Amino acid sequence: MSTLAVPASALRGRVTQLRVVHSEWTKLRSVRSTRWSLLVATVLTIGFPILASTVISSHWGSRSPHERATFNGLDPALIGSQIAQLAIGILGVLVITAEYSTGMIRATFTAVPKRLPVLWAKASVFAVVTFALMLPSVLVAFFASQSILSRHHANIAWSHPGVARAVIGAALYLTVIAVMTLGIGTIVRNTAGGIATFAAIFFVLPPLMDVLPASWNNAISPYLPGNAGRAILSITHDANSLSPWAGLALFCGYALAALGVAAVLLVRRDT
Amino acid sequence: MIEANGLTKDYGDKRAVDGLSFEVRPGIVTGFLGPNGSGKSTTMRLILGLDRPTSGAVTVNGRPYRFHAAPLHEVGALLEARSVHTGRSARNHLLALAQTHGIGRSRVDELIDLVGLHDVAGKRAGQFSLGMGQRLGIATALLGDPQTVMLDEPVNGLDPEGIHWIRTLLKGLAAEGRTVFVSSHLMSEMALTADHLIVIGRGKLIADTSVADFVAGASKKLVQVRSPQASTLADVLTGLGATVIDVDGVLEVSGLTSEQVGEAAATHQVVLHELTPLQASLEEAFMDLTRGDLEFAAIEAAP
């Protein structure tokens, strides 16, 4: 009796990094909740700026001359990416913790027992998908919101110094969040714990700094991951924030550190 | 071929696997038998490198599992606990695992047909029944057409038709010269499928024997006797070298055949009301063997 119809020789193939990337791409696109999260992130990134600019535009007449003078057309354009970071961050955690909670991780590590290729593949696939979706989203958000604001000449030009960097930087910021939260999820291995850690770092820690004396706050705050990362989104200079590229570099450093710790633990721990 | 050498695993201060050494050979079905909690699943996780041994080593086809370039072609495994993302369809689950080895879509479809999941392959695995989940696990195990197949409690949750299918499949795989290693806590199941047995209790090796030897060695013969002169008969039989246990007026005699008991009764003019030869079942033999090793043995109520 032939139990397995295909001859063995037809199937020989070894595990390669590229094949694991292919596998992780299949995993990412084949879960409904992932597709929904990414769709929500895209819709928020584009939708909020359009909504915000429409509201601003319709109430432009009621603004004081001072408010009009200090208005920065870039702010509504990037407001969506600030909300999308929540969806991207949660998804980054889930990409790995959902494998632990369902037991899928055992099948994954049985297929790729060296384990690290799985982490690299997840990081690269999720980072590329995030950047590929978020870059067009922020560009659409920018140009759509500026065309709405241009009715009152409240728009800011793409050629204005720092604008292109800030808009593309928003997509980069979200991409680094994707990598960082994957690292956090791998370290924590638990969905609730991973999301809590992500939220603590990005949303709880910064306001906590306000209880510190101002000199401490000003010395520490710029180096917090979220603040460092968001330096690239701003075109106004502030004495208490890092320069755009230094901030992004530090933010990348945090993300790589999280991924590095994750890699060490992934190889050492039992599954 | 699976070779374990002094395999030991501690979780905290609890020893789950304790100095196991054994070989699983190709061409036969080897049963891995032990009560629940005896360390079978842990041993299988150690074989796959999912957990690291505290000491000792285990190799598959000559090297540790994680050093194989194409592990799914070496060993196919069905682990006891479910190992499937509940939000992914069976087809995509298999496809994602196949892609790590460059195994094509046609192989995935073939296995879906082989395990009988064709109609539900597009459904999310979270909606699967226990039996469908087992079939998906078996498809996963066979994906790479592996030389060694290792299944943890494969008949769990299967209906009689599914159980029959598994038995036939396992025997077929062994007949093709593959190494087949199957765990179970049911001796009766192993007696039907396995050729060789590795029995463990509390993480320790208890027996490493062919099923035929195990059955022959384990089935102790008992004779059940009822007599109004039970105590006289018990003395007589004990005098002949038998071991006699009085269970509520019924004597359980071991060490003598029913013929010998009958003749002894006639010689001593003891009236018999019943004389029944009994044979311990395989399940009882297994329980006798592992009784002292049960992790959670029920405490028998005092009479």
* Domain-embedded: residue B294: no
Longest CA–CA span in chain B (Å) reads 80
Residue B141 has pLDDT above 90, yes or no: yes
If asked whether residues B47 and B94 sit together in one domain, one would say: yes
**Looking at the domain assignment, is residue B291 inside a domain?**
no
Average pLDDT over residues B173-196: 89
Q: How near does any CA of chain B get to the CA of A85, in Å?
A: 23
- The C-alpha atoms of residue A35 and residue A38 are separated, in whole angstroms, by 5
Regarding whether B143 and B98 lie in a shared domain, the answer is yes
For residues B7 and B147, membership in a common domain is answered with yes
Say whether both B225 and B132 belong to one domain.
Answer: no
Is residue B217's pLDDT more than 70? no
Residue appearing with tokens 């201060």: B13
Least confidently predicted of A194-208, B2-16, B104-118, B207-221: B207-221
Q: B45 and B187 share a domain? A: yes
Quick one: pLDDT at residue B280? Answer: 61
- The DSSP string of B204-221 is EEEEEEEHHHHHHHH--E
As given in the structure block, the two tokens for residue B32 are 């891995």
Q: Answer yes or no: are the C-beta atoms of B241 and B221 closer than 8 Å.
A: no
Looking at residues A176-186, what average pLDDT do you find? 98
Residue B298 lies in a domain: no
Assess if residue B303 is contained within a domain: no
Mutate to test the interface with B, among A1, A2, A4 (most CBs of B within 10 A): A4
Helices (H), chain A: 17-29, 32-58, 65-70, 74-102, 104-111, 116-149, 163-188, 191-199, 205-208, 214-220, 225-230, 244-268
Give me the CATH number covering residue B235.
3.30.70.1510
Residue B48 lies in a domain: yes
**Of the candidate ranges B22-26, B117-121, B232-236, the one whose mean pLDDT is the lowest:** B232-236
Distance from CA of A116 to the nearest CA of B (A): 12
Q: Is A214 on the interface with B (CB under 8 A)?
A: no
Q: Which of B99, B150, B178 to mutate to test the interface with A (most CBs of A within 10 A)?
A: B99
Pairwise CB contact (< 8 Å): A13 & B103: yes
Model confidence at B219, in pLDDT bands (50, 70, 90)?
low
User: Are B244 and B109 contained in the same domain?
Assistant: no
Instruction: Flag if B142 and A4 touch (Cβ within 8 Å).
Output: yes
Average model confidence (pLDDT) for chain B?
87
Are B74 and B197 members of one domain? yes
Does residue B229 sit within a domain? yes
Q: Quote the pLDDT of residue B255.
A: 81
Q: Would you say residue B127 lies in a domain?
A: yes
A22-39 pLDDT tens trace: 999 999 999 998 999 999
**Are both B62 and B200 inside the same structural domain?**
yes
Is there a single domain that holds both residue B211 and residue B233?
A: no
Q: A34: nearest CA in chain B?
A: B87
User: pLDDT exceeding 70 applies to what percent of chain A?
Assistant: 96
- Residue B58: domain span: 2-217
- B163 & B248 share domain: no
B62 and B198 in a single domain? The answer is yes
The predicted structure's pLDDT at residue B294: 52
Q: Is A35 on the interface with B (CB under 8 A)?
A: no
pLDDT band at B250 (very low <50, low <70, confident <90, very high): confident
Residue at B296 is within a domain: no
Is B303's pLDDT higher than 50? no
Q: What is the mean pLDDT of residues A223-252?
A: 90
| Nearest one of A123, A137, A133 to A92, comparing CA atoms | A123
Q: Specify whether B260 is located in the same domain as B138.
A: no
Give the count of domains, chain B. Answer: 2
In tens, the pLDDT along B43-77 reads 999 999 999 999 999 999 999 999 999 999 999 99
The CATH number assigned to the domain holding B13 equals: 3.40.50.300
pLDDT at B192: 82
Cα A2 to Cα B114, B116, B173, B192, B204, distances in angstroms: 11, 16, 8, 21, 36
Which run of H or of E encompasses B55? strand B55-60
- Is residue A76 over pLDDT 80? yes
Residue B101: per-residue pLDDT: 96
Cβ contact, residue pair A110, B73, below 8 Å: no
